[in-house]
Amino acid sequence: MAASSTEPKDLSTAILIRVDQSGHGDFRKIQDAIDAVPSNNSDLYYIWVKPGTYREKIVVPADKPYITLSGTEASTTIITRSEAGEIYDTPTLSVLASDFVGRYLTIQNAYEGNGKAVALRVSGDRAAIYSCRILSHQDTLLDDAGRHYYKNCYIEGSVDFICGNAASLFERCHMHSLAERTGWVTAQHRASPTENTGYTFLGCKITGIGATLLGRPWGAYSRVVFALTYLSSVIQPEGWNDWGDPSNQRTAFFGEYKCYGPGADRSKRVTWSHSLSKEEAAPFLSKGLIGGGAWLRISPIHFRKRPAPATTVEADS
């Protein structure tokens, strides 16, 4: 079912749904709260998740836009499960709807072995994720499709732990590599020069425990830029990898602009990566990259109760 194209008339007011495992909210489970949002809704819905550990596999379906899913602190509001397998089957939380906002949550896939184990999949357009902790090992964040904004998030993994073909801006995020030998922060999936997709990391930080590269091209035209970002010593001197296919060197666009820290030395970088000038970097350094000025919204300041579910009255026989 297609998502609603009707924008809420009042972006300052949302319908509040409370999730509380103790039974003092509207629902005990997050998925039950999402299921209570009507299809093709034209109201903002704010699902407030009280502190706790929620062991659920959650989907925000494509026909339920304008949902905010918010905890109070990421450290105390935890959504977790453990599953590995095909990349689209494993996410702990899958966001298929447009105009989604996530705030103050830990989203975790706790699988410990080798294999694809996604914590968060974002496939809807116009999604914003604030102050969340996104945790796994391989393919932690499947930043799949659409325009997305991540701010003040902590993202942890080892292999391709930010991957997909969205157009996304990561601002003041902290990426932490768990790779003990060789890991990759990004695997961006842009497949042709006509696709307006790619990842920009602005004012971010990368730390870790072992050897890590900034990225490799999942798609031949992969596009990733790190700007004004602290790169710790875990970033290896070559910086980037062509995923074993030298032809990717001609088509992928991997750039750095005014990064700093012990891993930012470009003297031994692969020659096909780019040290960007101010003019070259400019298009990647604002929310204009994702058209964010047109859709990023402030949090609602007024709340109202969820309408009572409609009841069916049987006619007298």
> What residues are annotated to the active site?
139, 160
Residues whose CB falls within 8 Å of the CB of residue 134, separated by 6 or more in sequence, listed in order: 106, 107, 108, 119, 120, 140, 141, 153, 154, 155, 156
Q: Rounded to 5 degrees, what are φ and ψ at 208?
A: 170, -170
**H-run or E-run covering 158:** none
Distance, CA of 178 to CA of 291 (rounded, Å): 33
Amino acid identity for residue 298 in this structure: I
Distance, CA of 48 to CA of 46 (rounded, Å): 6
Distance, CA of 200 to CA of 76 (rounded, Å): 29
Distance, CA of 43 to CA of 263 (rounded, Å): 46
Give the number of other Cβ atoms within 10 Å of residue 311's Cβ: 5
How far apart, in Å, do the first and last CA atoms of the chain sit?
A: 36
What is the three-class DSSP state of 152? coil
Distance, CA of 80 to CA of 134 (rounded, Å): 10
The residues facing 187 across adjacent strands are: 163
Region of 160 (left: φ > 0; alpha: ψ -120 to 50; beta: rest) is left
Amino acid identity for residue 63 in this structure: D
